[in-house]
Amino acid sequence: MDLSHFRMNWNYPTSVRVGAGRIADLDAACRELGMRAPLLVTDPGLAAMPMIDAALRQCRDSGLKAGLFHQIKGNPTGPNVMDGVAAFKAGGHDGVIAYGGGSALDAGKAIALMVGQDRPLWDFEDVGDNASRVNVAGMAPVVAVPTTAGTGSEVGRAAVITDDQAHVKRIIFHARMLPAIVILDPELTVGLPPKITAATGMDALSHSLEAYCSPLYHPMAEGIALEGMRLVKDYLPRATAKGSDVEARLQMLVASSMGATAFQRGLGAMHALAHPLGALYDAHHGLLNAVLMPYVLQANRAHIEGPMARLARYLGLSKAGFAGVLDWVVNLRSELDIPHSLGEIGIDDARIEQVGRMAEVDPSAGTNPVPYDAQTYSRIFEKALHGRL
């Protein structure tokens, strides 16, 4: 299939270079941002793969003094970020290439923020006016290269970092954390295993779905969310069933970026629960959202009937209204071999009340269609734990 018409340069919400083979632009992108010695930030798994060697070689062959930092957990921690800052300074680097899944992208953005700060990381948590504390002039530029289609962190202005002392996930935010250049190259994702393709793709869906259900007024984000969900419906099963389907991989990368663009409108109870569960159980964020999705939809049902009716029509579902959307979500999870309950992925009932309390105060809870107290979050968690839809 000729994919040349999918090769584009976009400028929304940042400079995005889209298309198969666009990783060839990496060294030029670094130079465009004034980098002479970029630090490539990735995870240990990717660091051992040929694509990282190729990226470093490409940069070095063009005269860039490229370094590598890969000491990042699946849920990156504060110490991971500060170790990256130390590597950045020790190597005399002047920019970051955040290359990988959500963990590498978030860690890379946080490292680029922290290299020019004299306050501790948690001083920049997305609370109140903490962002005003940032020394913007000290921030390093970022080129983001996603290798999964899920978090959309490449077009986000925040990083989710685990505070491993308090066992909570904290959102580090500043508007200038948005990477200056993004490269969406589907060829970098073709080797992703089906289970990771499915879980990350459902994460992209959760972003668009929760943004779409947010009560905030933001019609632009609502429209982006709708089209993002259509792309997931049409292309996630294809990308999961046949990983070499480059068109499906490309459309899922775009759907992922769209989901993260849309959630400027806010998220909701899926993420409010997924964040504490990820922090307490070190579980995969996308998989948590995938499992939680129908239970949160069911809890929110009375408040989202109208939006769900419009969504069912837009997606062309065989059944109308909320019931049609819920059936589609449940059937999609089944088709992708997503477990039905949290118990199936190693979550237990030892912290039901704690998870409820943490979810109630999670930043994502503020834009759920209806506010829930800790007890209600605990009940939703318990239903998802035991698969009682």
DSSP symbols for 218-267 = -HHHHHHHHHHHHHHHHHHHHHHH-TT-HHHHHHHHHHHHHHHHHGGG--
| Predicted pLDDT of residue 4 | 82
The per-residue pLDDT for 99 is 98
Domain limit, last residue, from 174, 189, 204: 189
The side-by-side arrangement of strands in the sheet containing 67-69 is: 8-11, 15-18, 181-184, 142-146, 95-100, 38-41, 67-69
Residue 75 lies in a domain: yes
Residues 6+ apart with CB under 8 A from 361: none
Handedness of CA 383, 236, 311, 274 (dihedral sign): positive
Look at residue 184 and tell me if it is in a domain: yes
The whole domain housing 344 covers: 194-386
- Please report whether residue 313 resides in a domain: yes
**Count: domains in the chain:** 2
216 and 343 assigned to the same domain: yes
Buried b (16+ CB within 10 A) or exposed e, 290-303: bbbbbbbbebbeee
Element holding 162 (H helix, E strand): strand 158-163
Residue 5 pLDDT: 82
Residue 371, CA distances (Å) to 306, 376, 385 in order: 18, 10, 21
Pick the more confident residue, 1 or 70: 70
Judge whether residue 309 has pLDDT over 80: yes
Asked whether residue 370 is assigned to any structural domain, the reply reads yes
Helical (H) or strand (E) element with 142: strand 142-146
Structural domain contains residue 6: no
Same domain, 19 and 100: yes
Q: What is the CATH number of the domain that holds 159?
A: 3.40.50.1970
Statement to judge: residues 230 and 303 lie in one domain: yes
Same structural domain for residues 202 and 351? yes
Residues 143 and 36 placed together within one structural domain of the fold: yes
Q: Is the peptide bond between 13 and the residue preceding it cis, with omega within 30 degrees of 0?
A: yes
Query: pLDDT digits over 152-170, tens only?
Result: 999 999 999 999 999 888 9
- pLDDT score recorded for residue 3: 83
Same domain, 174 and 296: no
Q: How far is CA 114 from CA 108, 159, 170, 309, 333, in A?
A: 10, 12, 15, 44, 38
What six digits make up the tokens of 107?
A: 């860690």
Q: Residue 172 has what pLDDT?
A: 96
In terms of DSSP bridges, do strands 142-146 and 168-173 run parallel, antiparallel, or are they unpaired?
Answer: unpaired
Cβ within 8 Å of residue 166, ≥6 positions away: none
Tokens of residue 337, six digits: 């071999």
> Quick one: pLDDT band at residue 293, thresholds 50, 70, 90?
very high
For residue 6, pLDDT over 90 is answered with no
Statement to judge: residues 181 and 203 lie in one domain = no
Q: Is residue 3 part of a domain?
A: no
Coil, helix or strand for 336? Answer: coil
Question: Does some domain include residue 120?
Answer: yes
Instruction: Count the neighbouring beta carbons within 10 Å of the beta carbon of residue 350.
Output: 10
- pLDDT for position 167: 87
The alpha carbon of 335 is separated from its chain's Cα centroid by a whole number of angstroms, namely 22
Dihedral pair phi/psi, residue 219, rounded to 5°: -55, -30
- 8 Å CB contact between 118 and 71: no
Q: Which two tokens stand for residue 359?
A: 């979810």
Q: What is the pTM of this model?
A: 0.94
Same-domain pairing of 236 and 181: no
Backbone angles phi, psi at 78, to 5 degrees: -55, -50
Q: Which of 134, 167, 189 is the last residue of a domain?
A: 189
Cβ(299)–Cβ(327) below 8 Å? no
Question: Where is the domain boundary, 155, 189, 223?
Answer: 189
Q: Are 77 and 122 found together in one domain?
A: yes
Q: How far apart are CA 364 and CA 243, in angstroms?
A: 32
For residue 2, pLDDT over 90 is answered with no
Q: Specify whether 221 is located in the same domain as 179.
A: no
Residues 74 and 112 in one domain: yes
Q: Do 359 and 211 share a domain, yes or no?
A: yes
CB count within 10 Å of CB 142 equals 28
Is 7 a domain residue?
no
**What CATH number should be reported for the domain holding residue 367?**
1.20.1090.10
142-154 residue pLDDT tens: 999 999 999 999 9
